[in-house]
Amino acid sequence: MSPPPNIAVIGAGPAGCTFARLLIRASIPVTIFEGEASFSCRAQGGTLALHADSGLKVLREAGLLEEFANYARYDGEALRVTDKTLKTYMQLKGTSDEQSSRGKPAIDRARLRQILVESLPSDAIRWGCRLRSIDPNDLSLHFDHGIERGFDLVVGADGAWSKVRSILTDVRPDYVGLGGFDLLVADAEKRYPHLHQLVNRGTVFAYSDSKAIFGQQKGDGSIIVSAYGPRDEDWRKTCGYDLNDASAVKKAISQDYADWAEPLVEMVQVANEDELVPRSIYTLPVGVSWEHHPKTTLIGDAAHLMTPYAGKGVNTALVDASNLAHTIIESANAANPLENLDARVITFEKDMFVRAAQVQDHSNTNMELMFFTPGAPFTTIHRWVKQGMGSSWFVKVFVPLWLVRLVLRLLFWW
């Protein structure tokens, strides 16, 4: 039998590492090239909710469910949706364990990546290898350290500004009109117990007037705070204050949210001054696709970057990784592993285009309901909740919006 295909992955994020883990377990060689110097060279952001029918299912396939359980936080399923006055429109309690879980346990993004990285052989990831370009003719990979060749498939798992995507399509991410800041309140339970209680070990979503302040607890007891609203794409240059001056940033945020409930604004004001990150939100068009290029494909944000407002980005990426890995494994088990590899990858891509477009649409709709619909959340909460109930024909046809409103009222009363 011919040897299995030799795979290169660009990017050691959740999608790239999960894909590599599944291939290595099937004895298929894979090399990950990662631009960062090490796993710990930068902060990894907030928390993720892995879903039972997608992200958790893939971790089970990868043999990592036990490791996940060591860091899973079922109390992180707590969710409170409010307006700027902290009037609550929906509230869900956290749970104590897997048996009482709603199937969406939380885990810190850094912990998930740690689990995945540590599950790979020590030489599987080549750190400090930032891809500069890829030759579309021979698929040679051009790095600062030199050129790498000889791969039967190059998989771009290199995020929003993917270099691999550039040889498949001219489509680039579009700015959605939202920008703002991520901040960190360290040791909130001891230092600010009233803010810790507000977040309730989970997430509080407060939005009104096309703006939002979110608070989300991490596993170490700190709170990630996000303050976002409509801004021009070049807002970082035109905002009128120094983005590296924490005092100036906090002052600007307090002015933007002057009529918001004091605890929400306080989360911003007490945040660490050395952990403040300005961000702008970009997305690829819903249903983005491309004509297949031989020996090349994409997964995760590189393939279908979406807004974060459906909470399904990483789950979609992990399903990409699983489906593509199964595609490669099936090809490797054939008499001639390379003979039909591209045909199999094309089938994978067509399925991914459809599947990811549904999630992108869900996320964009949530964004519209939260930021760009007058009167939100009062005017949109019932539609926001129905969106989260699923896209089955039963939900669409037999669950009217008035019923959702009624259920929300009962839940809040309970």
DSSP structure class, residue 202:
S
> Is the pLDDT higher at 386 or at 219?
219
- Residue 393: the pLDDT is 41
**Same domain? 39 vs 159:** yes
Does residue 388 lie within any of the structural domains? yes
Whole-angstrom distance, CA of residue 124 vs CA of residue 31: 5
Percent of the chain with pLDDT over 70: 92
The answer to whether residue 413 scores a pLDDT higher than 70 is: no
Q: Which amino acid belongs to residue 262?
A: E
Averaged over 114-142, what is the pLDDT?
Answer: 96
The CA-based angle 154-53-404, given to 5 degrees, is: 125
| Whether residues 168 and 196 fall in one domain | no
- Asked if residue 275 and residue 132 are part of one domain, the reply reads no
Residue 165 included in any domain = yes
Are 303 and 313 spatial neighbours (Cβ–Cβ below 8 Å)? no
Question: Closest Cα to residue 48, out of 65, 72, 66?
Answer: 72
Domain contains 98: no
Domain that holds residue 398: 382-414
Q: Which tens digits make up the pLDDT trace of 203-219?
A: 999 999 999 999 999 99
Number of compact structural domains in the chain: 3
Rounded to 5 degrees, what are φ and ψ at 188? -65, -35
Q: Which residues contact 339 (CB under 8 A, 6 or more apart)?
A: none
- The pLDDT of residue 131 is above 60: yes
Q: Is residue 95 part of a domain?
A: no
Who wins on pLDDT, 395 or 107? 107
